[in-house]
Amino acid sequence: MLAAIAACGSDPVDGDQSSAGTGGSASPTTGASGTTGASSTTGVGGAGTGGSTPGTSVGSTTSTGDATVGSGGAPGTGGAGTGGSETFCDLPTTFKWKSGPPVISPKPPAGRTFASVKDPTIVFFEDKYHVFATVFDTTSGNGGWQSVYLNFTDFPQAPAAEQHYMQSWPTGSTVAPQVFYFQPHNKWYLIYQWNGRYSTNDDINNMNGWSRPQPLLRGEPGAMGSTLGALDFWNICDDDNCYLFFSRDDGKLYRSKVSIEDFPNFDGYEVVMTAPSQGLLFEASNVYKVDGSNKYLLLVEAFDNSPRFFRSWTSESLDGPWAPLADTKNNPFAGPANVTYEGGDWSDDISHGELIRSGHDEKMTISACNMRFLYQGRDPSVGGEYGRLPYKLGLLTLQE
């Protein structure tokens, strides 16, 4: 979320810039009774649920002249979990979060100097987290807004993860990114600014495998007067269409729409909602499908003569309408009003970030159980030029 207006706590011009599967029942099911005489029947074990392939197993019975009861098969073996069925949770109506110290701080490679790391997108795939983020490079000559990639197995390893500088890659700088796997194309997509662009990759682990940038949105709005062009692009798809949400720092949220077959050729846009002031619908929109429900969750970063916070809405369709969930400064989705810190406060802002997803594809699914949010924050006592503000990445964990 690279922003544009230094006053009122906003950003300066940014224009440069399934849940784990569960196995079958732990106890085998009982097979059907065998017939009398020499016949026998087969009992079927419990099917695993939630895994990539449902588990099934077969047990047999042998009659002894009287009807016999077949023994069930061994427990089913579906997915990664064992025993029981997949658990879903309802979204809360109020939220309370806890944050520890920063989990990702600027860590430039040799020859570079980073003032900040921000705007993260995160996906869990093949037993590790993959993070793409914006950095402000203060290296003379070829600095400014750039981007990095890092990966790690779990958050305790995140501080030590190497941050790979992306400026020399075919994509150039992928600022304010979003990453996801688009199943119909069997490719990873990275979408980013400035001017909506995308790159693709067959293997997210191949840092040099990203294609050259391609335009994302035909007819994209440009900067005019006090507003920026489009920024902070976010894609999510249902079974039929893909939706591209974005901001302009003008108190409005925008959206474009295209069929699955035509993705990513977005063309034109419309206004989703309008706020009474610029800061109440600012930047960094996130939209997710909530596992086990027909709900979509929409987040938008805001400020209201205050540090940054996130407002939220829900809908049963990506076309809307959107109903307020936790959408005020005093009752936000996440903000100073409902975040506490372990080890000392290090940020007032709860700013541009992303929820940890339950999947990695274009459906952008999340579990409402044990929610976590990777966000950008900063020491409020440090001022100066926006790009040099010391943003770092922290992790919020939802509290009961």
C-alpha count within 13 angstroms, C-beta hemisphere, residue 342: 12
* pLDDT tops 70 at residue 28: no
Q: Taking 90 as the threshold, does the pLDDT of residue 36 lie above it?
A: no
Q: Is the pLDDT of residue 181 over 50?
A: yes
Q: Determine the pLDDT at residue 142.
A: 66
Query: Where does the pLDDT of residue 84 fall: very low under 50, low under 70, confident under 90, or very high at 90 and above?
Result: low
| Mean pLDDT within 381-392 | 93
Please give the pLDDT value at position 45.
36
**Reported pTM:** 0.80
Q: What whole-number distance in Å separates Cα of residue 222 and Cα of residue 245? A: 15
pLDDT over 50 (residue 280)? yes
Tell me whether strands 309-315 and 323-324 are parallel, antiparallel or unpaired. antiparallel
Q: Which two tokens stand for residue 73?
A: 């098969």
Which band of pLDDT confidence, cut at 50, 70 and 90, is reported for residue 21? very low
In this prediction, residue 227 carries a pLDDT of 78
Are 367 and 295 contacting, i.e. CB atoms less than 8 angstroms apart?
Answer: no
Per-residue pLDDT at 215 exceeds 70: yes
Is 206 buried (19+), middle (13-18) or exposed (0-12) by CB count in 10 A? exposed
Question: In this predicted model, which residue has the larger pLDDT, 288 or 57?
Answer: 288
Mean of the per-residue pLDDT values for the chain? 83
More confident residue, 357 or 194: 357
Q: What is the pLDDT of residues 132-158, one digit of tens each?
A: 999 999 986 667 999 999 999 999 999
* pLDDT at residue 341 is higher than 90: yes
- Residue 170 is predicted with a pLDDT of 77
Q: Which residue has the higher pLDDT, 380 or 228?
A: 380
User: How far lies 365's CA from each of 45, 100, 239, 354, 368, in Å?
Assistant: 30, 25, 13, 12, 10
pLDDT number for residue 295: 98
Q: What is the pLDDT of residues 97-130, one digit of tens each?
A: 999 999 999 999 998 999 999 999 999 999 999 9
Domains of the chain in sequence order: 7-17+89-398 (2.115.10.20), 20-85 (no CATH)
76 or 182, which is more confident? 182
Residue 386 φ then ψ, to 5°: -55, -45
In terms of DSSP bridges, do strands 175-182 and 309-315 run parallel, antiparallel, or are they unpaired?
A: unpaired
The confidence score (pLDDT) of residue 365 equals: 98
Is residue 5 a contact partner of residue 36, using CB atoms and an 8 Å limit? no
Query: In the predicted model, what is the mean pLDDT of residues 249-260?
Result: 97
Q: Are 313 and 279 in contact (CB under 8 A)?
A: no
User: Band of the pLDDT at 173, cuts 50, 70, 90?
Assistant: confident
pLDDT-based confidence at 60, cuts 50/70/90?
Answer: very low
Is the pLDDT confidence value at 68 over 50? no
Is residue 263 predicted with pLDDT exceeding 50?
A: yes
- pLDDT > 70: what percent of the chain? 78
